[in-house]
């Protein structure tokens, strides 16, 4: 028997009292009438003669500009060290070819130039891919070419060749405000193109440890694995950011997603298209955020800015006259609030660009002009430091945010390669001492001893013992 608010709605039952039956029918009709009117009052079809607002018209124009990206990567499987011994392989008649496994991954991309076929995505979506395939909204599948990538900001540009492409218009992300409505478009979990909506929860998020350069838009629009590289758009369908990461302690969406602002993405895209890489220079300073103790110690009235703790010799900052203890308060007209902010601003400048800096020194306010310089990197053969590093080429990282010694090249037949070292690995400590440059590594390493090194590889870190 089915009952609603105590009314018997079962039809075909035989009632003893026909008067009661009639009364129940009348009450039921009135009830249905009232609930129907209430339903239409809560969800009107028209308001003042206008149809209900919908995102469908905007999405109809925007969704064709967002693509699904799939990649294929051949990965060498790790083998037992004995299998790398030529005598062992010959004795047991094992094949010489290395075992490989094919890995596939999915992500999203945004067409920002329909004529040239430029597609923006995240570096981690296409990193080390042997094959990149793009699926358009209309179902067409196209092979893509990698034009350039910037791992530190997690941005990449690929190119496709096709007619009838749709591009997204670009908005000025500097004009965004917390509370603005946004829509995320992407390919979560490989389900196909999906749309979610929300608001901008915060702006200028830094210090998350997700990328080397961070200035994220935070949004509560649902972003999940596979959304990476997709578009965050405003209600006009304009590109305001590239969906990049989520904060998901439980492994699922918790309403905290991050997107790289459009202005930052487009600046990097221009450099990647022109040079195939981002040619970052160095200002040559190390800074730290102001604390209440430092504000008091420097007798500052303005709490904005950062204090310069170190100036590299012969750097752009040194040539501009910047000194340790200076308080940097603005850079190229932008007020400085944190060290992360300086790193982001400098990270978007090219070698030879100007940096107009306002600073406080004692009771004086000064303005200086620095010309962003080219990192002076020295390349040294690894065997100059330790015999276990024979077949490698080492250099200073040339990065203000990641100090250490980087492997530029590693011979695939070298002992270092056999131990698992790879190009772009960074030595951050040796024999338990912190390493910032080649000079420090030279002082610490002893050819007669085992070499214990701490390696940083992207977001991972591990120790190795070399003999």
Active site residues: 124, 154, 228
Neighbours of 262 (CB within 10 A): 29
Phi/psi of residue 25, each to 5°?
Answer: -65, -45
* Angle, CA 191 vertex, CA 190 and CA 192 arms, to 5°: 95
The two tokens of residue 94 are: 């094992």
Minimal CA–CA distance to 282: which of 207, 366, 352? Answer: 352
Neighbours of 9 (CB within 10 A): 12
Minimal CA–CA distance to 383: which of 425, 416, 431, 421? Answer: 416
316 and 373 Cβ atoms separated by less than 8 Å:
yes
Query: 397 exposed, middle or buried (CB, 10 Å; 0-12, 13-18, 19+)?
Result: buried
Sign (positive/negative) of CA torsion 330, 333, 338, 341?
negative
Sign (positive/negative) of CA torsion 388, 392, 395, 396?
negative
Provide the 3-class DSSP secondary structure of residue 244.
Answer: strand
Minimal CA–CA distance to 314: which of 283, 292, 274, 337? Answer: 283
Running DSSP on this structure, what letter comes out for residue 429? Answer: E
How crowded is the C-beta side of 430, counted as CA atoms within 13 Å?
Answer: 25
Kindly give, in sequence order, each residue whose CB lies less than 8 Å from that of residue 194, ignoring residues fewer than 6 positions away.
185, 186, 187, 188, 227
DSSP string, 206-223: --SSSSSS--EEEE-S--
């Amino acid at each position: 028997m089915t009952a609603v608010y105590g009314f018997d709605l079962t039809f075909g039952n035989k009632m003893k009292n026909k008067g009661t039956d009639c009364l129940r029918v009348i009450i039921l009709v009135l009830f249905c009438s009232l609930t129907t009117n209430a339903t239409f009052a809560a969800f009107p079809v028209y308001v003042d003669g206008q149809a209900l607002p919908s995102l469908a018209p905007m999405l109809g124009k925007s969704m064709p500009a967002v693509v699904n990206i799939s990649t294929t990567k051949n990965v060498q499987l790790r083998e037992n060290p004995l299998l790398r011994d030529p005598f062992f392989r010959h004795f047991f008649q094992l094949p010489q070819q290395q075992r490989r496994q094919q890995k596939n991954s999915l992500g999203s991309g945004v067409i920002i130039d329909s004529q040239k076929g430029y597609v923006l995505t995240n570096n981690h979506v296409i990193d080390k891919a042997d094959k990149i395939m793009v699926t358009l909204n209309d179902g067409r599948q196209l092979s893509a070419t990698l034009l350039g990538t910037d791992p530190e900001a997690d941005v990449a540009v690929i190119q496709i060749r096709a007619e009838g492409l749709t591009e997204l218009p670009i908005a000025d992300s500097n004009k965004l405000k917390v509370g603005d409505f946004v829509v995320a478009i992407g390919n979560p979990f490989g389900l196909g193109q999906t749309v979610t909506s929300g608001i901008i929860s915060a702006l200028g998020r830094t210090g998350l440890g997700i990328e080397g350069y961070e200035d994220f838009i935070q949004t509560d629009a649902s972003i999940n694995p596979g959304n990476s590289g997709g578009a965050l758009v405003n209600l006009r369908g304009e590109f305001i950011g590239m969906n990049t990461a989520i904060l998901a302690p439980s492994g699922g969406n918790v309403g905290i997603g991050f997107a790289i602002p459009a202005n930052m993405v487009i600046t990097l895209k221009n450099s990647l298209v022109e040079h195939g890489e981002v040619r970052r220079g160095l200002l040559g300073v190390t800074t730290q955020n102001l604390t209440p103790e430092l504000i008091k110690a420097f007798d500052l009235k303005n709490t904005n800015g950062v204090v310069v703790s170190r100036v590299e010799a012969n750097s752009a900052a040194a040539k501009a006259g910047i000194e340790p203890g200076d308080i940097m308060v603005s850079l190229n007209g932008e007020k400085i609030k944190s060290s992360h902010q300086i790193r982001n601003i400098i990270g978007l400048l090219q070698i030879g660009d100007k940096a107009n800096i306002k600073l406080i020194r004692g009771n004086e306010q000064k303005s200086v002009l620095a010309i962003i310089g080219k990192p002076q990197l020295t390349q040294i053969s690894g065997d100059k430091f330790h015999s276990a590093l024979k077949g490698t080429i080492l250099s200073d990282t040339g990065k203000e945010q990641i100090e250490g010694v980087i492997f530029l090249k590693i011979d695939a037949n070298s002992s270092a390669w056999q131990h698992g070292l790879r190009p772009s690995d960074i030595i951050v400590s040796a024999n338990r001492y912190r390493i910032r440059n080649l000079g420090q590594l030279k002082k610490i390493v002893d050819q007669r001893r085992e070499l214990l090194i701490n390696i940083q590889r992207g977001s991972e870190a591990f120790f190795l013992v070399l003999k």
